[in-house]
């Protein structure tokens, strides 16, 4: 069984439509794929309608959170998408992404980059708008060579010259809301230091005590030492340890199924999730 529990579609900042994503997941030899767009479940219906035979879809989302000024991501699986409290929080974050992206466009223009909100909105389409869409517009303009090159202090990395923050959830509140909606919570890439500051390990322990289910261990932004450290923390704190690609289509270099989750860990996630069920064609 090959299980990839973290992917993005055009419903947020991936480049595959949800239908393309499930077809590509099947072609990549995956048995299980989770669709975890940023702060939205908008891609689930299309992904389910296009599910190839033999592939199971785990409905999910990646929630934008912040603790003591440090941004972090919380993966949520198998929650009830209609549970009003969690749905409202997703909406608040999503809605705030628009004025925030416009703010970053304005700062970039002040820095002499001829980027327009119309172009960024065009690239984002119906998707929840984020920095990777702005980065793609910067690549088009020749300001940077790759999407990743835009994530520097010079441009739109956390705290960068053109960075603007957005509304983000308290991660303790996120864990509570996910559980309240019957879902399973997994702290995404907790030690992805190349993306910016990370929360201290004590925060992971506190989240575990507050009901966090797991942490993402095998991820492209974790080096070997970070993975070993996280595996130890998962063991000590009784957390599930997952692995996943964080696939974004052509907007990032990682391939579907580049990292995977152990079948026993997936079985435990499926057993704990009660707000929605994995879907098979
Ligand atoms: P946003 O949610 O709009 O703040 O954008 C965050 C997203 O930008 C993340 O989910 C990643 O997809 C992407 N991202 C963050 N840091 C980097 C980086 N250093 N290189 C490439 N992409 C990044
Ligand atoms: Zn993303
Ligand atoms: Fe993330
Ligand atoms: Fe992600």
- Nearest protein CA to atom 22 of ligand 1, as residue: 148
The CA 261 to ligand 2 mean position distance, Å, reads 19
Tell me whether residue 162 is in a domain: no
pLDDT tens, residue by residue, 227-276: 999 999 999 999 999 999 999 999 999 999 999 999 999 999 999 999 99
Strand partners for 163? none
Ligand 4 centroid to 192 CA: how many Å? 11
Same domain, 183 and 204: yes
Does residue 132 sit in the same domain as residue 269? Answer: no
Q: Give the nearest ligand 1 atom to 194 CA.
A: 19
Residue numbers of the chain with a pLDDT score lower than 70: none
Task: Let me know whether 126 and 146 are in one domain.
Answer: yes
- Report helix, strand and coil shares of the chain as percent, to nearest 5: 40, 15, 45
Tokens of 54: 């033999």
Taking the centre of ligand 4 as the mean of its atom positions, its distance from the CA of residue 237, in whole angstroms, is 23
Q: Which ligand is nearest to the CA of 73?
A: 3
Q: What is the CATH number of the domain that holds 232?
A: 3.20.20.140
Report which of 3, 68, 76, 66 is spatially closest to residue 40, judged by C-alpha positions: 76
Place of tokens 């934008």: 64
Query: Which residues are near ligand 1 (CB < 6 Å)?
Result: 13, 38, 64, 130-132, 147-148, 151, 194-195, 248
Ligand 1 pocket, mutate which of 130, 144, 154, 198 (most atoms under 8 A from CB): 130
pTM: 0.97
Q: Whose CA is nearest to atom 12 of ligand 1?
A: 132
Are 172 and 241 members of one domain?
yes
Whole-number pLDDT of residue 38: 97
The secondary structure of residue 210, as a DSSP letter, is T
Q: Output the CA 160–ligand 1 centroid distance in Å.
A: 13
How many angstroms separate the Cα of 185 from the Cα of each of 18, 154, 172, 222? 22, 33, 11, 19
Would you say residue 238 lies in a domain?
A: yes
86 and 108 housed in the same domain:
no
Q: Is 197 a member of any domain? A: yes
The two beta strands, 56-67 and 70-77, are: antiparallel
Ligand 3 center from residue 228 Cα (angstroms): 20
pLDDT at 31: 98
Give the range of the structural domain holding residue 119, as residue numbers without chain letter: 95-150
The reply to whether 161 falls in a domain is no
219 and 104 part of one domain: no
pLDDT (0 to 100) of residue 281: 84
Domain count, the chain: 2
């Amino acid at each position: 069984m090959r299980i990839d529990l973290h992917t993005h579609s055009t419903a947020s900042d991936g480049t595959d439509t949800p239908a393309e994503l499930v077809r590509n997941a099947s072609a990549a030899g995956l048995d299980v794929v989770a669709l975890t767009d940023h702060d939205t479940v908008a891609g689930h219906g299309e992904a389910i309608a296009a599910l190839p035979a033999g592939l199971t879809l785990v409905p999910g989302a990646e929630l934008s959170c912040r603790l003591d000024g440090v941004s972090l991501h919380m993966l949520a699986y198998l929650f009830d998408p209609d549970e009003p409290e969690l749905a409202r929080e997703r909406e608040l974050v999503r809605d705030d992404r628009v004025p925030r992206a416009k703010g970053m466009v304005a700062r970039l223009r002040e820095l002499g980059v001829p980027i327009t909100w119309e172009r960024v909105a065009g690239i984002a389409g119906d998707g929840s708008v984020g920095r990777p869409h702005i980065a793609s517009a910067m690549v088009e303009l020749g300001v940077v060579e790759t999407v990743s090159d835009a994530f520097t202090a010079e441009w739109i990395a956390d705290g960068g010259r053109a960075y603007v923050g957005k509304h983000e959830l308290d991660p303790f509140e996120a864990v509570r809301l996910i559980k309240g909606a019957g879902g399973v919570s997994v702290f995404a890439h907790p030690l992805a230091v190349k993306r910016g500051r990370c929360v201290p390990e004590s925060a992971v322990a506190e989240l575990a005590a507050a009901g966090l289910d797991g942490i993402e261990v095998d991820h492209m932004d974790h080096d070997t030492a970070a993975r070993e450290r996280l595996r130890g923390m998962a063991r000590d704190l009784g957390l599930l340890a997952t692995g996943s690609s964080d696939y974004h289509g052509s907007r990032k270099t990682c391939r579907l199924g580049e990292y995977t989750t152990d079948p026993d860990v997936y079985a435990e996630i499926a057993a704990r999730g009660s707000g929605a069920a994995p879907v098979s064609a």
